[in-house]
A and B are shown apart, each in its own frame.
Chain A
Amino acid sequence: MIAVKKLVKRFGLKTVLRGLDFEVQAGEFVALLGPNGAGKTTFLRILASLSRPTLGEVRVAGYRLPAQASDVRRNLGVVSHLPLLYGDLTAEENLRFYGRIYGVLELSQRINEVLELVGLNSRRRDLVRTFSRGMQQRLAIGRAILHNPDVLLFDEPHTGLDQDACDMLDRLLSEVAGQGRTVVMTSHDLARVEDLASRFDVLSSGVISASASRNGLGKNNLLDFYRKALAS
Chain B
Amino acid sequence: MNNKQRTVEHKSASSFLGAVGAIIWKDLAAELRSRELLSAMLVFALLVILIFNFALELDPLTRRVATPGILWATFAFAGTLGLNRSMAVEKDRGCLDGLLLAPVDRSAIYFGKTISNLAFMLIVEAIVLPVYSVLYTTNLFNPGLIVVILLGSVGYVAVGTLLSSMAVQTRTRDVLLPILLFPVVIPILIAAVKASSGFLQGLALTEVMPYINLLIVYDVIFTSVAYMVFDFVVEE
Binding site for B on A (CB under 8 A): 45, 48-52, 70-71, 73-76, 78, 80, 82-89, 93, 97-98, 100-103, 105, 127, 143, 148
In the assembled complex, the CB of A180 is this many whole angstroms from the nearest CB of chain B, namely 12
- Can you identify 29 A-B contacts, CB atoms within 8 angstroms? A45-B236, A50-B101, A50-B236, A52-B235, A73-B101, A73-B103, A75-B4, A82-B93, A82-B94, A83-B93, A83-B94, A86-B30, A86-B89, A87-B93, A88-B31, A88-B33, A89-B33, A93-B26, A97-B22, A97-B25, A98-B98, A100-B22, A101-B18, A101-B99, A101-B104, A103-B15, A103-B18, A103-B104, A105-B7
* Interface check B100, CB cutoff 8 A: yes
Interface residue tally on B, bucketed by range: 20 to 34
For residue A74, which residues in chain B have a CB less than 8 angstroms away from its CB? 4, 8, 103
B179 within 8 A of A: no
Q: In the complex, which residues of chain A have a beta carbon less than 8 angstroms from the beta carbon of B187?
A: none
Main SS at interface, chain B: helix
Q: How far is the CA of A78 from the CA of B101 in the complex (A)?
A: 8
B11 within 8 A of A: yes
Q: Is the interface of A mostly helix, strand, loop or mixed?
A: loop
Q: Which residue of B lies closest to A48 (CB)?
A: B101
Q: Which residues of B contact A87 (CB under 8 A)?
A: 93
The distance in angstroms between the C-alpha atoms of A76 and B30, with both chains bound, is: 26
Q: Which 6 A-B pairs have the closest CB atoms?
A: A82-B94, A100-B22, A84-B98, A88-B30, A73-B103, A51-B236
> Hey, which chain B residues are within 8 Å of A82, CB to CB?
93-94, 97
Question: Which chain B residues have a beta carbon within 8 Å of chain A's beta carbons?
Answer: 4, 7-8, 11, 15, 18-19, 21-23, 25-26, 29-31, 33-34, 89, 93-95, 97-105, 108, 235-236
Q: Is the pair A85, B103 in contact by a Cβ cutoff of 8 Å?
A: no
Closest A residue by C-beta to B31: A88
Indicate if the CB atoms of A101 and B25 lie closer than 8 Å: no
| Contacting residues, chain B, for A83 (C-beta < 8 A) | 93-94
**CB neighbours of B26 from chain A (8 A):** 86, 89, 93, 97
Q: What B residues does A85 contact at CB under 8 A? A: 93, 95, 98
Residues of the A chain whose Cβ atoms lie less than 8 Å from the Cβ of B105: 70
**A182-B150 Cα distance, complex, nearest whole Å:** 50
- Asked whether, in the complex, the Cβ of B236 is within 8 Å of the Cβ of A102, the reply is no
Complex Cα distance A74/B1, Å?
11
Is A86's CB under 8 angstroms from B95's CB?
Answer: yes
Task: Assess whether B94 is in contact with A70, with CB atoms less than 8 Å apart.
Answer: no
A87 — nearest CB in chain B belongs to which residue? B93
CA–CA, A145 and B4, complex, Å: 14
Contact partners of B34 in chain A: CB under 8 A: 88
- Rounded to whole angstroms, the CA-CA distance of A89 and B31 in the bound complex is 9
Q: How far is the CA of A196 from the CA of B90 in the complex (A)?
A: 32
- Closest Cβ of chain A to B89, distance in Å, is 7
Chain B's closest residue to A83 (CB) is B93
